[in-house]
Structure 1
Amino acid sequence: MSRHALSRLAPLCLALSLVACSDTQAPQPGIRPAMVAQPQLAAEQVDSYPGEIRARLEPELAFRIGGKVTRRLVEVGQRVDKDAPLAELDPQDVRLQLDASRAQLQSAESNLQLARAERDRYRTLQQRGMISKSLADNAENTYRAAEARLRQVRAELNVADNQAGYAVLKAPQSGVIVQRRAEVGQVVAAGQTVFVLAADGEREVAIDLPEQAIGNLAIGQEVAVELWSQPGQQLAGRVRELSPAADSRSRTYAARIALQQSYAQVELGQSARVFIARNGDVPLAVPLSALSAEQGQPYVWVVDPQTSKLKRTSVRVGAYGEKSVPVLDGLTASDWVVVAGVQVLLDGQQVRPVDRQNRAVDLAAKE
């Protein structure tokens, strides 16, 4: 083939190759990971205090009678059911008292039978006119006294029977043993604390407030709680109790923060932080890396929890901080916002949400 023919054939091949490339669809990009987080309270307007997860009810358990502890049936941290035995006292003394009460009951019943027979005999003699009315009345009074004595002895027997049962300390409700204050062989008095039980049910955060923070807190005020083991995930709380007086040693005021929902991941003894607003409502904040702007209008990328698709959401922001910016309008605390790589995202794009440790995040499960 001549050089002239080859020169005319080359443009034709190039055009055909371009047409073939245009007919072939470009490969679809895979679902890319996106680092997400929920908006947090603006730290500049929030005070935080360390605390500990406690049970709403923590009864101190004690024997109702005194004695020597012969058995301890549970350990600290052990879960117990209602009416489960926890410890036992030496039952010898209460058993002897119970036996004595039973013997007194038999004696009182015999005395009553004798008094009843005497009364009936004196009534018959009086009706025949063989004795005076005073003797018959005396027999009647003796019978009534014996009857009252029997009732007294029966009551004493019930008390002795109850005390025999009090020699076994039982759990008043289900929960976890959090403290033990007595050992086997120790002699305890009635009412002396032996165990402290953290009852099942509501959980709270116990915190200590300095004097200057008392004015920022009131009963019923809503606060936010964050577990040390779950940073970035805030739980709703409410101030339930506030001590009216400072502790004599630490000079701090004890407060209890009730969690407003039943959170399954909250365990006794966990460390937590309580966030309290200084003045009124506290705005949310997002990292500076989550914010973009177009024509002077700031926006963030919000991930739909159901579809994992992105939605561009316009926001109104406040003064920029060193690492974050407060969001005055446009977001809620339950939203999930992309916090990295926002400049390469598209509206409606599907992503794979991950946290800062590159672990998958199930947004629907954490709504």
Structure 2
Amino acid sequence: MSRLILLLPAALLLAACGSEKEQAAPVRPVLSVVVQPQVQSQLGRFAGSIQARYESTLGFRVSGRIARRWLDVGAQVKPGDTLATLDPTDQQNQLRAAEGDLARVQAQWINAQADARRQQQLYDRGVGAQAQLDIARTNLKTTGASLEQARAAVSQARDQLDYSTLRTDHAAVVTAWQAEAGQTVSAGQAVVTLARPDIKEAVIDLPTHLAEQLSEGLTFTVSLQLDPSINTSATLRELEPQADATTRTRRARLSLDSTPDTFHLGTAVSVTLTSEVTPRSELPLTALLERDGKTQVWVVDPQTKTVATRDVLLIDRDGERIVLSSGVQPGERVVTAGVNLLKPGQKVTFDGDVR
């Protein structure tokens, strides 16, 4: 009897210990992330380049054979610099002919003046006829008109000779040549393309479906491809109305809010399109807990290091992520792995804990 009494307390003690072990869940290590608010949605990233807003294609104003091309692609020019010259032989001959015609008409005009004075003197003395005076005056006026025409012809011939030299009227950079020395060109034919380096912009090609959805709320971020830390914001300045027949893209030109020194003409850049959205949170798909018709996540209490479920409103999901419009707050920690193995109130450890 005494032996039975001694064994009973020991059995009760073992049963109590076993009950506590069953109630105390183990501390489980988990993966987690801190909720970050998202106020912008990224629509895509596209490759582009820095180009000049203003480009001009120049050509000679007269026809001829190009005698010399003075500059190469990439050269910087100032107002008045010579770009190319034509063989001036034809223009020089035209100028000599015009100057010869002018000398001949000047001689005729001097003779007409002298004749008009003689007829006027004879008429004043009463020995000259009115008809002769009228003829002399008419001849003087006709010769004067011919003189003005000859002078204009000389001026035009000089201009034609000057047009055989192609000059720039503004500071620019030579970006392309469409003709070479020895080539015969017609008046107005494209010879050289100049770009003004003072105003630059980013140029990208957008898919047609995205170009049709562009709105005023879009933000463009232009960054250097070799160093994304060098970037600036931009706004849409121009969008081509028609898509390219081959690529089915539409070219967009973006005005830069500022121009970093490394943004040279032709520099490769990346352009990111983002749009303002209502505040939301983005989490990995593995953080989602779906059971009993509810959409939940596990939220970690930073004080007690325990977890509790939280109902959330899901607005988007794909193969890797979910987007929530409500249910979690910025700065809260959410479990992202093993969500089906946790229990409410269970203690957890995560990266950064001292174990």
Matching residue of 1:64:
61
Q: Distance in 1 between matches of 2:283 and 2:73?
A: 43
3-state SS, counterpart of residue 267 of structure 1: coil
Aligned pair count?
Answer: 268
Q: Distance in 2 between matches of 1:227 and 1:186?
A: 40
2:224 to 222, 227, 243: 227
CA deviations 1:243-289 (Å, max 9, x no partner) are 12223343322221121223221011111122223x5459899999x
Identity %: 31
Name the TM-score, length of structure 1 as normaliser: 0.64
State the AA in 2 paired with 1:116: Q
Q: Distance in 1 between matches of 2:248 and 2:179?
A: 30
2:241 to 244, 268, 273: 244
| Offset at residue 137 of structure 1 (A) | 1.7
Deviates more, 1:71-80 or 1:247-256: 247-256
Q: How does 1:118-137 map to 2 (within 5 A)?
A: 118-137=115-134
Contact persistence 1:177–1:196 (CA under 8 A): yes
CA deviations 1:111-164 (Å, max 9, x no partner) are 111111111111122222323323212211111111111111111111111111
Contact persistence 2:51–2:265 (CA under 8 A): yes
Q: Distance in 1 between matches of 2:279 and 2:131?
A: 93
Q: Tell me: CA distance 1:190–1:238, structure 2 relative to 1, closer, same or farther (3 Å).
A: same
Q: Distance in 1 between matches of 2:41 and 2:277?
A: 13
Matching residue of 1:19:
none
State the AA in 2 paired with 1:226: S
3-state SS, counterpart of residue 45 of structure 1: strand
3-state SS, counterpart of residue 216 of structure 1: coil
Q: Distance in 1 between matches of 2:82 and 2:223?
A: 36
Q: How does 1:106-185 map to 2 (within 5 A)?
A: 106-185=103-182
Matching residue of 2:86:
89
Q: Does 1:267 align with 2:264?
A: yes
3-state SS, counterpart of residue 121 of structure 1: helix
CA deviations 1:22-76 (Å, max 9, x no partner) are xxxxxxxxxxxxxxxxx9x988532222211111111111111110011111111
3-state SS, counterpart of residue 73 of structure 2: coil
Matching residue of 2:193:
196
Unmatched 5+ stretches in structure 1:
1-38, 298-317, 331-341, 345-367
Q: Does 1:214 align with 2:229?
A: no
Contact persistence 1:209–1:255 (CA under 8 A): yes
Q: Tell me: CA distance 1:80–1:263, structure 2 relative to 1, closer, same or farther (3 Å).
A: same
Q: Tell me: CA distance 1:142–1:75, structure 2 relative to 1, closer, same or farther (3 Å).
A: same
State the AA in 1 paired with 2:245: S
Q: How does 1:318-329 map to 2 (within 5 A)?
A: none
State the AA in 2 paired with 1:96: N
3-state SS, counterpart of residue 55 of structure 2: coil
Name the TM-score, length of structure 2 as normaliser: 0.66
Contact persistence 1:46–1:282 (CA under 8 A): no
Q: Tell me: CA distance 1:66–1:284, structure 2 relative to 1, closer, same or farther (3 Å).
A: farther
| Offset at residue 90 of structure 1 (A) | 0.3
| Offset at residue 77 of structure 1 (A) | 1.6
3-state SS, counterpart of residue 137 of structure 1: helix
CA deviations 1:174-212 (Å, max 9, x no partner) are 222111111111101111111111112111112222221
Q: Tell me: CA distance 1:141–1:217, structure 2 relative to 1, closer, same or farther (3 Å).
A: farther
Q: Tell me: CA distance 1:249–1:156, structure 2 relative to 1, closer, same or farther (3 Å).
A: farther
Q: Tell me: CA distance 1:170–1:218, structure 2 relative to 1, closer, same or farther (3 Å).
A: farther
| Offset at residue 106 of structure 1 (A) | 1.2
Unmatched 5+ stretches in structure 2:
1-35, 285-298, 304-314, 331-350
Contact persistence 1:126–1:136 (CA under 8 A): yes
3-state SS, counterpart of residue 190 of structure 1: coil
2:75 to 73, 78, 86: 78
Q: Distance in 1 between matches of 2:282 and 2:224?
A: 19
Contact persistence 2:40–2:276 (CA under 8 A): no
Q: Distance in 2 between matches of 1:121 and 1:296?
A: 120
Q: How does 1:306-317 map to 2 (within 5 A)?
A: none
3-state SS, counterpart of residue 128 of structure 2: coil
Q: Does 1:47 align with 2:44?
A: yes
Contact persistence 2:41–2:276 (CA under 8 A): no
